[in-house]
Structure 1
């Protein structure tokens, strides 16, 4: 992970979330290389992340040690919003960079009052949480009602980039709820 100063496009992204008035010294740009862990489930979390560029996968680990990929953040979205709204101090999921990944880290400690009272930000956050809930509901419906073959085909289509599928097969099997074999 590399910490970098904010650039002009970062200020524009903060403005999209109504956060143009937060002190810029309370934020930084974080860059992760492909394969690097952005957050680790159960570890302390001290910032909200606004995704700027790149792909990351969000995973949750079951008590039996198996992981499930919940979603992919692709050049947009928030990371840490569930923890912010639930007043959690530890990450509820793991986030791993799939490609080079860049985000704006907004310190909870320095910006919590603004994050909890800024109506533009809260509306944007609510919209994103609703979208994630809808996606989660769709995924559950698919898992419960579609065959393994149908889930696998849909997963490959959804996660192909320019007609090319490059995901790790063990991740694919976890995501579609099937054996690797």
Structure 2
């Protein structure tokens, strides 16, 4: 992880977030995470409220039986640590960078002293969390109404980094709510149709072919 005081960074945070003033930005950091690096770690402490400026990340939880499951994929403008800030959850989850991921990090002390009492910021945070809940509901609705091939094709476009797919098949099968066997059968269909190509240690996706397929269904 590379950590730079915000005013010294060449990156500018252009998103307009109620309550986030220049004074708060001057106390904040730009943090750069490499592929596979933990942004937050289960059992650790939340040091910042993160806003993703560039890249993607995934939220992963460990079940009581030790099984790891993907709960959500995050992208630009998403927050990390929002549920902890409002004390809706006591333990943070693993959030892992997918490709190089750059975040604005507002120290928790600054959030507690200067942001959490700001009504405009609280409304923004509530709206964000509500929207995230609706997106998760849509995810579960699609599990019931769309065939796996369509959902997998959409997901590959969403989570590929520079058109590369690196995720574990078992975790993606779990995320899609299908058996590993069903997932592999569907994944082979996409390969056979040229939407996915195997490389040495990853897969390349063909966005043009995937989008053409999605437009036809």
What range describes the TM-score normalised by the shorter chain of this pair? 0.7 to 0.9
The answer for the alignment partner of 2:14 in structure 1 is 12
Task: Give unmatched runs, 5+ long, in structure 2.
Answer: 182-217
Q: Give the TM-score, by structure 1 length.
A: 0.81
Aligned pairs (5 A) from 1:17-32: 17-32=18-33
Sort the Cα spacing of 1:126 and 1:11 in 2 relative to 1 into closer, same or farther, 3 A: same
Q: Tell me which residue corresponds to 2:3.
A: 3
Aligned partner of 2:87 in structure 1 is 86
Q: How far is the alpha carbon of 1:154 from its aligned partner?
A: 4.2
Q: Shift of the alpha carbon at 1:25?
A: 4.8
Cα separation, partners in 2 of 1:155 and 1:40, compared to 1, 3 Å: same
RMSD of aligned C-alpha atoms? 2.6
Report how far residue 142 of structure 1 moved. 2.9
Is 2:133 aligned against 1:142?
Answer: no
In structure 2, the residue matched to 1:132 is 132
Distance 1:88 1:154, change over 3 A: closer
SS state of the match for residue 99, structure 2? coil
Distance 1:69 1:53 in 2: 20
Number of residues of Structure 1 aligned to a counterpart in Structure 2: 178
Contact 2:5 2:30 in 1 (8 A): yes
TM-score normalised to structure 2 length: 0.70
Which residue in the other structure is 1:62 paired with?
63
8 Å CA contact 2:57, 2:97 repeated in 1: yes
CA distance in 2, matches of 1:155, 1:127: 24
Larger Rg: 2
